[in-house]
Amino acid sequence: MKIICVGRNYAEHAKELGNAVPESPVIFIKPDTALLKDNNPFYHPDFSDDIHYECELIFRVAREGKYVQEKFASTYIDGIGIGIDFTARDLQTEAKQKGLPWTLSKCFNYSAPVSAIQPLDAYPDLQNIHFTCKINDELRQTGYSGDMIHTIPTLIAYISRFITLKKGDYIFTGTPAGVGKVKIGDKIEGFLEGKQLLNFLVK
Ligand code: MG
């Protein structure tokens, strides 16, 4: 199982970090050791003073796919949920400045909390899905899949040209604006169409 992530997929978020809006999707991968499930707490690591939450719409891959055509892309996913792409922003900024990979800043243990996966059938219009993130009961991120720079079918087609999709993989589709630092004691909640799916603590 792997976690395939998309960076800079919302223009407002690219802008808030001072990044250009990319022509092609920005793709990176987290290992299976990054997964954090069942609303278990996230233990703040000691190697960063600037861990950011990035709330994202996530999809579960239903079957193996290579060179998937966009028109069939939705048949390669069967579940939807909310995930947090935790990022050690200080390490990432340093890596970017040096032209080095983002790996450690994105792929550390438990850097990918995921909600319970919901059947995709209930969300037939992939371009019309709303999600939100609250930190300590305060609304911090509001996402709408219609605002994505690269649509979900485009992402599936693009990724599968390079990396074979396998059943059970997760796809993180990028974060909208409003990312920020977490601290010990914070409560993080993620909602899909108003339904709370994520609710966990930073310890
Ligand atoms: Mg992200």
> Strand (E) positions, the chain?
3-7, 26-30, 35-36, 51-53, 55-61, 77-84, 87-88, 112-113, 118-119, 130-135, 138-144, 170-172, 180-181, 187-192, 195-201
Residue 22 confidence (pLDDT): 77
Residue 3 Cα to ligand 1 midpoint, Å, equals: 12
Residue 54 Cα to ligand 1 midpoint, Å, equals: 5
Residue 119 confidence (pLDDT): 97
Residue 75 Cα to ligand 1 midpoint, Å, equals: 24
Confidence of residue 19 (pLDDT cuts 50, 70, 90): confident
Residue 124 Cα to ligand 1 midpoint, Å, equals: 24
Residue 56 Cα to ligand 1 midpoint, Å, equals: 7
Span 164-176, average pLDDT? 98
Span 38-52, average pLDDT? 98
Confidence of residue 18 (pLDDT cuts 50, 70, 90): confident
Residue 113 Cα to ligand 1 midpoint, Å, equals: 12
Confidence of residue 17 (pLDDT cuts 50, 70, 90): confident
b/e sequence 178-201, b meaning 16+ C-beta within 10 Å: bbeebeeebebbbbbeeeebbebe
Q: What pLDDT, in 10s, does the model give residues 174-188?
A: 999 999 999 999 999
Residue 155 Cα to ligand 1 midpoint, Å, equals: 14
Domain segments of the chain as ranges: 3-201
Residue 90 Cα to ligand 1 midpoint, Å, equals: 15
Residues, CB within 5 angstroms of ligand 1 (ion): 54, 85, 175
Q: Is 2:169 a contact under the CB 8 Å cutoff? A: yes
Return d(Cα 163, Cα 10) in angstroms, integer: 23
On the CB side of 158, CA atoms within 13 Å amount to 17
Q: What pLDDT, in 10s, does the model give residues 65-108?
A: 999 999 999 999 999 999 999 999 999 999 999 999 999 999 99
Residue 159 confidence (pLDDT): 98
Residue 71 Cα to ligand 1 midpoint, Å, equals: 25
Residue 174 Cα to ligand 1 midpoint, Å, equals: 5
Fold of 3-201: Fumarylacetoacetate hydrolase; domain 2 (3.90.850)
By percentage, how much of the chain surpasses pLDDT 90?
A: 94
Confidence of residue 139 (pLDDT cuts 50, 70, 90): very high
Residue 175 Cα to ligand 1 midpoint, Å, equals: 5
Q: What pLDDT, in 10s, does the model give residues 121-133?
A: 999 999 999 999 9
Residue 86 Cα to ligand 1 midpoint, Å, equals: 8
Start-to-end CA span in the chain (Å): 26
Residue 13 confidence (pLDDT): 85
Residue 170 Cα to ligand 1 midpoint, Å, equals: 13
Residue 14 confidence (pLDDT): 81
Residue 160 confidence (pLDDT): 98
